[in-house]
Structure 1
Amino acid sequence: MKFSVFTASTPEWTPSQAAETLAAQGWDGIEWRIVDDRPAGGAPVPATRSFWAGNESTWQFTGIEDHVGDIARITDGAGLEYSGIGGYQQASNRDGVDTMLRVTSELGARQVRVSMPVYRAEKERTGETYAQIFDRTRVDLEWAVSRATELGVKALVELHHMTITPSASAALRLVDGLDPEHVGVIHDLGNLVIEGQEDHLAAFELLGPYLAHAHVKNARWVDTGDTRADGSSIWQNEWAPLRTGQASVSEYLDALRQVGYDGWVTVEDFSTDLPLEARTADNLAYLKSLVPVSA
């Protein structure tokens, strides 16, 4: 297995700082986040940066084609590989998806995430049922796969809570029958703590050739102390360090090994217990302690 970091989780670093620091720590690769995440209207970015807004390691989607050379220079200069590209373009936005596929091809990054609809939000916006949203997303994905095939890259569907593909079973329904050389699934350990949990080994066996990528983060459910009108407790999810969340990273990696997975494991740790540099260094040390030297 090879280990990389998704730059959604490195908001304090510029792209150069992210690449240089991760390379120095011994990471094999990097997964660049590409999305427009600056405040609307040119408003200043808050001093306290979040992972998802004002993230310094993010390449802005608008004008991204003009920065392919910069991305390549920084990545190659640090001696890092691409584990893939963290895109945010909705499957229904064919122009946006096409741009991301072309950028991925130009970089030689091989694979890029295509975002799936958030079920409740889409239902509220369109009035469609899950089945209707699913069916039209399948048509959009078929188009994306045809373009990915032309460009020699792979479109990725992530297992993500709140979307129409929170589980391996749901994702398989969406991609089944399409060419696994050009479409695959990102299995995400932390997201599944929130929604979509299935036995990992069963999920990997179910996905078969569509298991294209693995994201590793961790999460936990906590009692808020509040109650509903009926008196029942209200729980909420929060991100947690790899070592202390509810999911077992060691069991997850072991299940990946059992199905012969030897691809990328990309960390996107959104916990803040440790400072960023210490967090990424500790995560790599932890992952390497769990993987046999021969793996």
Structure 2
Amino acid sequence: MKFSVFTASTPDWSPEEAATKLAGQGWDGIEWRVTDQAETAEPGFWAGNRATWPMTGLEESIPEIARITAESGLEFSGLGGYARCDNHDDVERVLAATAALGAKQVRVNVLPLGNSTMGGGEPSGLSYPELFQATREHYEWVAARAAHHGVKALVELHHGTVTASASSARRLLEGLDPQHVGVIHDLGNLLIEGWESPLPALQLLGPYLAHVHVKNTRWVRTESRDESGAAVWANEWAPLTEGQGSVLAYFRALADVGYDSWVTAEDFSTEVPLEERTASNLAYLRNAAALAGFAVTAPA
């Protein structure tokens, strides 16, 4: 098992700083965030993130991405792309960039639900069956282009999309070549929407289980009540050791299905300063993996 960090979760660091600091802490790899974003006065996870490579001009950035990654000694666990499956031009570009970098796999986003504002857009109002069918048609094209480039396109299990659960992702990809399409199973996202017991969910994905993201969340009761007088609950990101998901149980499920590839941390909690957070996360993940029976390389 190898460990990497998705740079959406390292907004304070420039690419050079992120690679240098993560390599110094002993991480095996890095998953670069690739998207155009709003600029802000202070860096944030989703806007003003300094460890993000812009989609605009991505091709010109490839040599620098390759240099920084190689000089740090880190590997690519993949690319954290934001191109949506219905934007064929951008999908083609991120697939080509993934191939050029030797990063092997890249997230290609599915369509959001009809009542979702994911990505900052207005809700489409389309029904789930309509959106699911459209996503399937686009992903058939994505699979063919991924095969052309010799890489793998990844569907993330994510709340607010047509693939919030392992079951929906397996149904979406059924019949497509698992050499070129796969699923990112994400513990934290599933606690928000799409939760299925990890072991059977991982078993269900079978050959489509391609990648793992680990973060954690918890549900908290707000002071509000809805119109009926019922309590209102909201989710918030939590440190890996403080959320509702058991990372140890998750790793044991991964061990049971024989998954022994990349685990990418994307901790969006802010209770601990960033550098301390990434270092302690690596120590915790290594310990949990060892307890689950994985062979874990000791830090240099």
TM-score bracket, normalised by the shorter chain, equals over 0.9
Query: What is the alpha-carbon distance in structure 1 between the residues aligned to residue 289 and residue 226 of structure 2?
Result: 44
In the other structure, the counterpart of 1:46 is 41
Mark the runs of 5 or more structure 2 residues left unpaired by the alignment: none
Per-residue CA shift, 1:25-81, capped at 9, x if unaligned? Answer: 000000000000134xxxxx223x210000000000100000000000000000000
Q: Distance in 2 between matches of 1:127 and 1:194?
A: 21
Give the equivalent residue in structure 1 for 2:31.
31
**Which residue of structure 2 aligns with residue 214 of structure 1?**
212
- Corresponding residue for residue 231 of structure 2: 233
In structure 2, do the counterparts of structure 1 residues 127 and 244 end up closer, same or farther at CA, with 3 Å as the change threshold? closer
Of the three residues 277, 282, 285, the one matched with 2:283 is: 285
- Structure 1 residues 114-139: Cα deviation after superposition (integer angstroms, max 9, x where no partner): 01111023897544211111111111
- The reply to whether residue 257 of structure 1 matches residue 252 of structure 2 is no
| C-alpha distance in structure 2 between counterparts of 1:127 and 1:166, whole Å | 18
State the partner residue of 2:191. Answer: 193
Provide Cα deviations, 1:186-233, integer angstroms capped at 9, x if missing partner.
000000110000010001100000000000000000001111121100
1:110 equivalent among 94, 104, 108: 104
SS of residue paired to 1:76: helix
Superposition map of 1:94-109 within 5 A: 94-109=88-103
Cα–Cα, structure 1 residues 124 and 14, in superposed 2: closer, same or farther, change >3 Å?
A: closer
Letter of the structure 2 residue corresponding to residue 156 of structure 1: L
User: Where does residue 143 of structure 2 map in the other structure?
Assistant: 145
Please name the residue that 2:131 is paired with.
Answer: 133
Q: Output the CA distance in 1 between the equivalents of 2:161 and 2:214.
A: 18
**Residue identity matched to 2:251:** L
How many residues end up aligned between the 2 structures?
A: 289
User: What is the letter of the counterpart of residue 25 of structure 2?
Assistant: Q
- TM-score after normalising by structure 2: 0.94
Sequence identity percentage: 57
Instruction: Give me the CA root mean square deviation.
Output: 1.3
Residue equivalent to 2:14:
14
Give yes or no for the alignment of 1:58 onto 2:58.
no
TM-score for the superposition, normalised by structure 1? 0.96
Q: 1:224 aligns with which of 218, 222, 225?
A: 222
2: CA distance between counterparts of 1:97 and 1:206? Answer: 27
